[in-house]
A = this chain, B = another copy of it.
Amino acid sequence: MGLDDRKLAVLRAIVEDYVATQEPVGSKALVERHQLGVSPATVRNDMAVLEEEGYIRQPHTSAGRVPTDRGYRLFVDRLSRVKPLSPAERRAIERFLVGAVDLDDVVHRTVRLLAQLTRQVAVVQYPSLARSKVRHLELVPISTTRLMVVMIADTGRVEQRLVELPAPVPADDVTDLRRLVNEKLVGCQLAETPPLVQALVEESAPHLRPAMTTLSTVLLETLVERHEERLALAGQANLTRGGLLDFQGSLRPILEALEEEVVLLKLIGETEPSTTRVLIGDENEFDNLRAASVVSTGYGPGSTIVGGLGVLGPTRMDYPGNIAMVRAVARYVGELLAQN
């Protein structure tokens, strides 16, 4: 059952060659391209064992071997080191991210950069509101019964929402409301807000109470519970790389999955331990993505995590390279956010 070092080396070689050439790799080609120090026949025996253990498989009887999801998993866990970035890549990252003027800009640049570097589909989650603190709340009267609430978070995120008030509210009262909500909520994590918002209603003067009630409802509903998460996506054209060989001929399920925010959030949404996560093939829970792998990690200023980012591509991807890039980009973005 034990896989000795050479068998592991064979597996590594198979993965590397297959990722590079996209063609099933045979024993002869293997010994030619890698210094294994043994003959093709020996490699064949090792391959037979690897196949029995489920790490590789033969698409057809007379074809070479291809790694299975399990094979990639072993490769990622034990056979590969994170590839250091080339100076050119480092420079590309810096050049790309320098000069971003606001959060939107940072996110868009990041997602494009990631797509370009990895040549995969890139996904970046905006800093999660749940993990942000309120920096400022602005109330802008649109009419006497309408208020635009603008929340600015310390992560740079800005969310707005229109509030329909139950009754007209004079300008002075708006000023009071503004002062009150800011006094109470600035500096708070949004996730911990609900009791505070509740208290806000109870403490406010009677004539403000109706307005404050709807205001608080909206705050809770929109900013905490509802669509609070946002995503940016780029590099979908990269899915067509490698012809139709990846994804067994149909991009449809993949494209569909990419349109579902919920799916993407589950995939790259910030994971508690701040480590890089790799989901290979059917390890992820979505049928549509059985032919895809995801490399993701969390990012944030300093050592905190405020959101996730990652790439999605065929199981046949350059894991060490992609892991390195995802991590590097996450770190740079974190630094960028820390500057604000």
Contact = CB atoms under 8 A, between A and B. Distances in A.
The SS class assigned to the A binding surface is mixed
Interface in A138-161: 138, 140, 142, 148, 150, 152, 156, 158, 160-161
Contacts of A256: 237
Contacts of A158: 148, 150, 158, 160
Interface residues of A, number: 33
Interface stretch (A32-40, A247-255, A267-275): A247-255
A250 B156 CA distance: 39
A234 interface: yes
A140 B156 contact: no
Report how many copies the assembly holds: 2
B135 A142 contact: yes
A259 interface: yes
Contacts of A276: none
A67 to B, nearest CB: 26
11 contacts: A101-B161, A101-B162, A136-B140, A140-B152, A150-B150, A158-B160, A234-B259, A237-B252, A240-B250, A240-B251, A244-B244
Interface of A: 101-102, 105, 135-136, 138, 140, 142, 148, 150, 152, 156, 158, 160-162, 222, 227, 234-237, 239-240, 244, 250-252, 255-256, 258-259, 340
Given A237-B251, A237-B256, 16 more contacts: A101-B162, A136-B140, A136-B148, A138-B150, A140-B152, A142-B340, A148-B152, A150-B152, A150-B158, A158-B158, A237-B259, A239-B255, A240-B251, A240-B252, A240-B255, A251-B251
